């Protein structure tokens, strides 16, 4: 999509649809809104006065301009209550309005939203770009009959005079973030018969080639040589080779400490021998969203080009049942020497991440962020509104939290009290891979923490509730969301900027 900035008059803007944001209950029109209303002979104020348009969040109302404006339609976009408005809702409301405008056939869009208290011209243009560029991607990639599909080709963002340089920078950044997130989403959307571990490795090689990054891919034999019994156990049931992938972005020089982004890449999670119920099992094609987010983040980081050392690790395995598959009660030894009693083969994400995180540290990482669709309990804990964040030390968790705040990707921290470790005790091995029902998201994190070396920092993003949606949202269609891409990218940009 061609995204540009215009600081001219709203009435002179050419577009199929000019989207303007209005707050819930707003009756006063000023600035560009007043100019538009005047040119439309009061059509907007009449809709407001009659309460035909109330400004509820994600509400949309079309007004045909009949030649009174350069734009063919005005789309009134509801922003919700003014005191709740932020860059978060700026992004989601822009996406919802763009989706509404496209439904009417609009292929060229322009957008004018009010500023939010937390937002200046650059962040605003970035949020609007991200909202529209991400909001307009649908998961219908395998539909043969797509004739009615409308493609939006251009977006113009209205900025105040004097703000256009900052807004253009926001557009540049927003485009990078949105395109990288859309890469993650498109990988996640592919069904598991297409997107298996070998194909994910091929996708990683494409990114490596495009940006001149070093890439290392371990298959079954290389994992055996390195004693990676934990990830190998999960791979036993699958005919597809597991792939442990490391992408290396090393532009930080010798002084900068290396950060590893480690993603769970279960390309399909049947549960293995501890098989899942049939209902909703198809969603488990999304169990590689963590690894896909790592690849998206590496792409965005390579586009931004910060002075940083980053290793993206993708732990890609298919978790299948079968005659060769791992059994409950099996004991495996991870590459740091720790033994694990696999009491439930469906708790496989932590098993693949264990060896992935050990490897990342062997490759030199001192700081780790892992990202994974790890626990159904994450949905119970926070619902779909936020990603669960855990980790230690707290300064590193805070650093990740700040990056998430900048991204508009909500996270909420859960505690790690020493007592949780008790739940992972095994009678036969160093630890068990499940900790019972209480605090399932936390005990999963505590399991992973056992593979972080003393003195290194670690943060854990459980995106089980946020990586994909089972239904259409106003601002995103059903399917994968790209959760974590922008947070991880901002984390690296912040660190490179000494923030």
Nearest to 74 by CA among 82, 64, 84: 64
x/- map, 435-454, ligand BES, by CB under 6 A? -----x--------------
Minimal CB distance residue for ligand BES: 376
Catalytic residue, from 264, 350, 401, 486: name it. Answer: 350
Residues 424-443: x where in contact with Zn ion by CB under 5 A, - otherwise, as a string: --------------------
Residue 453 token pair:
């070396």
Q: Which is nearer to ligand BES, 259 or 434 (CB)?
A: 434
Residue 344 in contact with ligand BES, rule: CB under 6 A: yes
Q: Cα separation of 213 and 336, whole Å? A: 27
Rounded CA separation 199/239 (Å): 14
- Among 276, 338, 410, 421, the active-site one is 276
Q: Beta strands 339-342 and 330-333: pairing type?
A: antiparallel
Q: Does residue 348 interact with ligand BES by CB under 6 A?
A: yes
Output the 3-class SS for 394-424: HHHHHHHHHHHHHHCCCEEECCCCHHHHHHH
Q: Which is nearer to ligand BES, 227 or 376 (CB)?
A: 376
- Minimum distance between the CB of residue 344 and ligand BES, rounded to whole angstroms? 4
401 in catalytic set: no
Query: How many binding residues for Zn ion (CB under 5 A)?
Result: 6
Residue 450, CA distances (Å) to 252, 311, 351, 458 in order:
28, 20, 11, 11
Q: Which of 434, 445, 459, 492 binds ligand BES (CB under 6 A)?
A: 434
Shortest CA distance to 101 belongs to which of 137, 66, 60, 131?
60
Q: Are 314 and 204 contacting, i.e. CB atoms less than 8 angstroms apart? A: yes
Which residues are paired to 244 by β-bridges? 218, 315
Least distance in angstroms from the C-beta of 448 to ligand BES: 13
Task: Pick from 123, 163, 346, 409 the residue near ligand BES by CB under 6 A.
Answer: 346
Q: Nearer to ligand BES by C-beta: 208 or 342?
A: 342
Name the segment binding ligand BES (CB under 6 A); options: 3-11, 153-161, 228-236, 343-351.
343-351
Backbone angles phi, psi at 331, to 5 degrees: -115, 130
- Written as one string, the DSSP assignment of 210-255 is HHT-EEEEE-HHHHHHTT-HHHHHHHTT-SSPPEEEEEEEE-STTT
Q: Are 328 and 274 in contact (CB under 8 A)?
A: yes
Interacting positions 185-204 with ligand BES (CB under 6 A)? none
The entry of ligand BES, Zn ion, none that residue 376 binds, CB within 5 to 8 Å by partner kind: ligand BES
When binding is defined by CB under 6 A, the residue of 63, 192, 247, 347 that contacts ligand BES is 347
Please return the burial class of 283, using the count of CB atoms within 10 Å of its CB with bins 0-12, 13-18 and 19+. Answer: middle
65 binds, among ligand BES, Zn ion, none (CB under 5 to 8 A by kind): none
Q: Does 269 bind ligand BES (CB under 6 A)?
A: yes
> Residue 116, Cβ neighbours under 10 Å: how many?
19
> What's the rounded Cα separation, in Å, for the pair 145 and 482?
26
Closest of 356, 335, 344, 292 to residue 488, by C-alpha: 292
Among 69, 266, 390, 485, contact with Zn ion (rule: CB under 5 A): 266
Distance CA 371, CA 450 (A): 16
Residue 349 binds Zn ion, judged by CB under 5 A: yes
Q: Is 376 in the site for ligand BES (CB under 6 A)?
A: yes
Instruction: Judge whether 104 counts as a catalytic residue.
Output: no
The interface partner of residue 344, options being ligand BES, Zn ion, none and the CB cut-off 5 to 8 Å by kind, is ligand BES
Burial class (CB in 10 A: 0-12, 13-18, 19+), 389: buried
In the complex with ligand BES, the residue whose CB is nearer, 224 or 422, is 422
Determine the longest span between alpha carbons in the chain, in angstroms.
Answer: 80
Which one of 65, 108, 326, 373 is in contact with ligand BES (CB under 6 A)? 373
Which positions from 225 to 264 touch ligand BES by CB under 6 A, shown as an x/- string? ----------------------------------------
- Looking at beta carbons only, is 159 or 381 nearer to ligand BES? 381
**Interface residues toward Zn ion, by CB under 5 A:** 266, 269, 287, 346, 348-349
Query: Catalytic amino acids?
Result: 276, 350
**Interface residues toward ligand BES, by CB under 6 A:** 269, 287, 344, 346-349, 373-377, 434, 440, 464
């Amino acid at each position: 999509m061609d995204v540009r900035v215009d600081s001219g008059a709203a009435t002179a803007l050419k577009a199929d649809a000019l989207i303007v944001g209005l707050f819930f209950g707003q009756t006063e029109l000023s600035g560009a809104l007043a100019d538009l209303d005047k040119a439309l002979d009061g059509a907007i104020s009449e809709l407001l006065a009659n309460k035909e348009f109330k400004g509820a969040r994600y509400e949309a109302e079309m007004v045909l301009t009949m030649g009174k404006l350069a734009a063919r339609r005005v789309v009134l976009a509801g922003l919700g209550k003014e005191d709740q408005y932020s860059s978060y809702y700026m992004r989601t409301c822009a996406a919802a309005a763009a989706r509404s405008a496209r439904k009417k056939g609009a292929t060229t869009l322009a957008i004018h939203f009010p500023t939010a208290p937390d937002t200046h011209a650059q962040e605003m243009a970035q949020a609007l770009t991200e909202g529209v560029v991400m909001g307009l991607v649908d998961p219908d990639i395998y539909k043969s009959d797509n004739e009615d599909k409308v493609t939006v080709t251009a977006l113009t963002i209205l900025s105040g005079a004097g703000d256009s340089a900052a807004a253009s920078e926001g557009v540049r950044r927003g485009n990078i973030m949105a395109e990288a997130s859309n890469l993650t989403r498109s990988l996640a959307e592919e069904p598991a018969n297409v997107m298996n571990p070998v194909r994910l490795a091929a996708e990683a090689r494409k990114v490596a080639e495009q940006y001149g990054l070093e890439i290392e891919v371990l298959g079954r034999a290389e994992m055996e040589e390195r004693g990676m019994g934990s990830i190998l156990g999960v791979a036993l049931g699958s005919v597809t080779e597991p792939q442990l992938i490391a992408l290396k972005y090393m532009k930080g020089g010798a002084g900068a400490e290396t950060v590893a982004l480690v993603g769970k890449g279960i390309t399909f999670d049947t549960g293995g021998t501890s098989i899942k119920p049939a209902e909703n099992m198809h969603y488990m094609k999304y169990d590689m969203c963590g690894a896909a987010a790592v690849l998206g983040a590496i792409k965005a980081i390579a586009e931004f080009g910060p002075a940083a050392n980053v290793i993206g690790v993708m732990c890609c395995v298919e978790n299948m049942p079968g005659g060769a598959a791992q059994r409950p009660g099996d004991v495996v030894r991870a590459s740091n020497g720790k033994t694990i009693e696999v009491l439930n083969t469906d708790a496989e994400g932590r098993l693949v991440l264990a060896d992935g995180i050990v490897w990342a540290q062997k490759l030199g990482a001192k700081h780790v962020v892992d990202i994974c669709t790890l626990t159904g309990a994450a949905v119970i804990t926070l619902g779909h509104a936020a990603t669960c964040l855990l980790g230690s030390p707290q300064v590193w968790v805070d650093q990740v939290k700040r990056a998430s705040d900048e991204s508009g990707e909500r996270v909420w921290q859960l505690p790690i009290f020493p007592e949780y470790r008790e739940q992972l005790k095994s009678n036969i091995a160093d630890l068990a891979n499940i900790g019972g029902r209480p605090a399932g998201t936390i005990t999963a994190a505590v399991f992973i923490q056992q593979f972080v070396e003393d003195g290194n920092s670690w943060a854990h993003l459980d995106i089980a509730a946020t990586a994909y949606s089972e239904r259409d949202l106003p601002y995103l269609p059903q399917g994968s969301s790209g959760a974590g891409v922008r947070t991880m990218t901002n984390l690296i940009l912040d660190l490179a900027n000494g923030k």
